[in-house]
A = this chain, B = another copy of it.
Amino acid sequence: MEKQTVTRKDVAQKAGVSVSVVSRTLNNSGYVQADKKKRVIEIAEEMGYFPHPVAMSLQKRRTRQLLFFCKDLMNSYNIQMYQGMTRIARERGYMVVLNGNMEFSTIRETMVDGIIMPNEIVTEYYLHTIGKNYHLPVVTTFYGNPVYFPKSVPIVESDMHQVMALAVNGLRKKGHKKIALAVPYDYDTSDARIAQWRSMTEEVFGKRQIDFLISCSRKSLQKEQELLEMLNQSESSADEPDLLRRENFFVKGEILARVFLKKNIDATAVVCFNDELAAGFCSELRRLGIVVPEKISVMGIDGSYIRQITRPLLSTISIYPEQQGEKCAEVLIDLIEGRRIHYVTRVPMKILEGETVKEISGGSLCQKRKSRK
A73 contacts B63, C-beta separation under 8 Å:
no
A100 contacts B86, C-beta separation under 8 Å:
yes
Partner of A50, one of B57, B80, B108, B353: B108
By a CB distance below 8 angstroms, the chain B residues around A51 are: 109
By a CB distance below 8 angstroms, the chain B residues around A215 are: none
A74 contacts B79, C-beta separation under 8 Å:
yes
The residues in A between 313 and 372 inclusive whose CB is less than 8 angstroms from any CB of B are 313, 318, 320, 322, 350, 352-354
Considering only CB atoms and an 8 Å cut-off, how many residues of chain A contact the other chain?
72
Q: Fill in one digit per residue for A182-219: 1 if any B CB lies within 8 Å of its CB, else 0.
A: 00000000000000000000000000000000000000
A287 within 8 A of B: yes
The residues in A between 47 and 86 inclusive whose CB is less than 8 angstroms from any CB of B are 48, 50-51, 53-55, 57-58, 63-65, 73-74, 76, 79-80, 82-84, 86
Task: Spell out A's residues near B (CB within 8 Å).
Answer: 2, 4, 48, 50-51, 53-55, 57-58, 63-65, 73-74, 76, 79-80, 82-84, 86-87, 90, 95-101, 103, 106, 108-111, 133-135, 232-233, 235-236, 239-240, 242-243, 246, 248, 250-251, 276, 279-280, 283, 286-287, 303, 305, 307-309, 311, 313, 318, 320, 322, 350, 352-354
**Closest 9 interchain pairs by CB?**
A48-B133, A250-B309, A50-B108, A97-B97, A54-B57, A53-B111, A54-B58, A243-B305, A283-B311
